[in-house]
């Protein structure tokens, strides 16, 4: 007896997928419900399980093939014999939740931890370009020992230019490093980068479906929405003091740290209630006002940016917000999000500050009409009550669709967020 392996229903608006890779080869034994092939869609990666226990008798769609929902992927035989009869393709409806599981990173066996190893990665998988000029930790202690014998002038050059002293051959007395040795070293042409040595002058890698979808949606946002960004700054002193004063008690009671995101989510919800247009979207010739508050938040992963959704944020406590954000973020990085986790957002928060961004103009996550950009907190000189003081300042950016949100609304919305963060007690009064 032979059972067909078909492309399952992939989710809302998804009609096709790419065969990322087969997890089993023809002739290999498989167990019922064991992942047998991995599909890549515009939104998610998912594993298709074997319908029965037996042998993978036939592979009809090779790696890299584009397949439609209901298309034939292959077949499994309980005795290993393949079917020679013509097979008709039928559409099937997925009955298991695992067909909606995102697999952002290639998994090994279930009981084995996933370890990132660049050497073992498939060359066809998109990898970020990373430039590094760091000195290995193992050299630091050795450098410190050697630096004790250096003259002040030589030590200054080493420090300013971040030179690995172990690579310098000293020509001074007893092999000591002198200034001329460093000058000669800096005059030597640098060697080619590791990536150039490994991959050649250029690399050409096909974009993943997720990256293609990100590119398409961002371009759509630019072309279809009337994008405009307004800025403000917020003094984070009171938020930081409240976190510091209550962190220990908060963590003891709820088992999780009190972060900044819960404050920003709460502040956004209050502002969205007061300015409902920012929580609305355009649908044809109508404006759809959302009376629920699902906050999307951007999460960077190895495969690209995903934007999971914190559902019904207005009904969550500070602790609930922190727990849910932590849980959803971990699911995103582990490749365990579902399609449902990515749908239904009404407003987005993007935190470029975790990467050191000072200021940016975030782009809309269509069909939403607003996105808030958070940035890094930096001590700056500001005037407080006629005196110059040093305060922790964060720049905020609100990008919005000017087709339905006027300048007055956008500025007032961002100002309300600023006021609630500078006096976080307001968040508990809902004003």
Closest by Cα among 323, 306, 225 to 265: 323
Set 122, 402, 423, 430: catalytic member: 402
Give the Cα separation of 72 and 397 in Å (integer).
48
Which residues lie across from 76 on neighbouring strands? 3, 56
Chain centroid to CA 213 = 14
DSSP label at 7?
Answer: P
Give the Cα separation of 54 and 27 in Å (integer).
9
Chain centroid to CA 335 = 11
The verdict on whether omega for the bond into residue 333 sits within 30 degrees of 0, i.e. cis, is no
Burial 319-353 (b: 16+ CB within 10 A, else e): bbbbbbbeebbebbbebbbbbebbeebbbbbbbbb
Which residues lie across from 387 on neighbouring strands? 384
Q: Please check whether residue 6 is in contact with residue 72, taking contact to mean a CB–CB distance below 8 angstroms.
A: yes
Give the Cα separation of 189 and 210 in Å (integer).
40
Sign of CA dihedral 320, 326, 330, 332: positive
CB atoms within 10 A of CB 115: 7
Q: Please check whether residue 64 is in contact with residue 40, taking contact to mean a CB–CB distance below 8 angstroms.
A: no
DSSP label at 338?
Answer: B
Give the Cα separation of 143 and 164 in Å (integer).
7
**Pair type for strands 370-374 and 347-351:** parallel
Set 33, 78, 245, 406: catalytic member: 406
- Three-state SS for 324-391 is HHHHHHHHHHHCCCEHHHHCCCCEEEEEHHHHCCCCCCCCCCCCCCEEEEECCCEEEEEEECCEEEEE
Residue 406 known to be catalytic: yes
Give the Cα separation of 262 and 150 in Å (integer).
51
Give the Cα separation of 293 and 291 in Å (integer).
7
Contacts of 31 (CB under 8 A, 6+ apart): 50, 53
**Pair type for strands 370-374 and 378-384:** unpaired
Give the Cα separation of 40 and 20 in Å (integer).
6
Residue 375 known to be catalytic: no
Catalytic annotation, residues = 402, 406
């Amino acid at each position: 007896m032979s059972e067909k392996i078909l492309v399952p229903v992939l989710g809302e608006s998804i009609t096709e997928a790419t065969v990322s890779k087969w997890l089993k080869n023809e002739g290999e034994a498989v167990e019922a419900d064991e992942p047998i092939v991995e599909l890549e869609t515009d939104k998610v990666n998912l594993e298709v399980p074997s319908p029965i226990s037996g042998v993978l008798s036939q592979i009809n769609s090779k790696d890299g093939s584009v397949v439609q929902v209901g298309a034939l992927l292959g077949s499994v035989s309980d005795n290993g014999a393949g079917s020679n009869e013509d097979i008709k393709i039928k559409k099937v409806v997925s009955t298991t939740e695992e067909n909606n599981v995102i697999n952002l990173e290639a998994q090994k066996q279930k009981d084995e931890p996933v370890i990132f190893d660049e050497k073992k990665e498939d060359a066809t998988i998109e990898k970020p370009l990373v430039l590094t000029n760091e000195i290995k930790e193992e050299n630091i202690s050795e450098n410190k020992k050697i630096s004790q014998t250096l003259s002040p002038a030589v030590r200054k050059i080493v420090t300013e230019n971040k030179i690995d002293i172990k690579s310098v051959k000293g020509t001074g007395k007893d092999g000591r490093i002198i200034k001329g040795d460093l000058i000669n070293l800096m005059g030597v042409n640098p060697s080619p980068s590791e990536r150039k040595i490994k991959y050649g002058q250029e690399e050409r890698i096909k974009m993943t479906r997720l990256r293609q979808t990100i590119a398409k949606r961002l371009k759509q946002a630019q072309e279809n929405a009337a994008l405009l960004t307004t800025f403000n700054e917020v003094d984070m002193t009171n938020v930081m003091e409240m976190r510091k004063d209550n962190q220990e008690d908060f963590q003891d009671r709820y088992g999780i740290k009190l972060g900044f995101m819960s404050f920003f989510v709460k502040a956004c919800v209050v502002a969205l209630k007061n300015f409902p247009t920012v929580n609305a979207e355009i649908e044809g010739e109508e404006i759809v006002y959302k009376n629920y508050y699902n906050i999307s938040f951007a999460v960077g992963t190895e495969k690209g940016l995903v934007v999971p959704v914190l559902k019904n944020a207005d009904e969550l406590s500070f602790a609930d917000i922190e727990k849910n954000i932590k849980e959803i973020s971990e699911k995103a990085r582990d490749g365990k999000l579902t399609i449902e986790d990515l749908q239904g957002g009404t407003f987005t928060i993007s935190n470029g500050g975790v990467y050191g961004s000072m200021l940016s103009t975030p782009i809309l996550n269509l069909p939403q009409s607003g996105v808030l950009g958070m940035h890094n907190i930096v001590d700056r000189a500001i005037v407080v009550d006629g005196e110059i003081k040093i305060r922790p300042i964060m720049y905020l950016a609100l990008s919005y669709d000017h087709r339905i949100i006027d300048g007055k609304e956008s500025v007032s919305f961002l100002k309300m967020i600023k006021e609630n963060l500078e006096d976080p007690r307001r968040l508990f009064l809902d004003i």
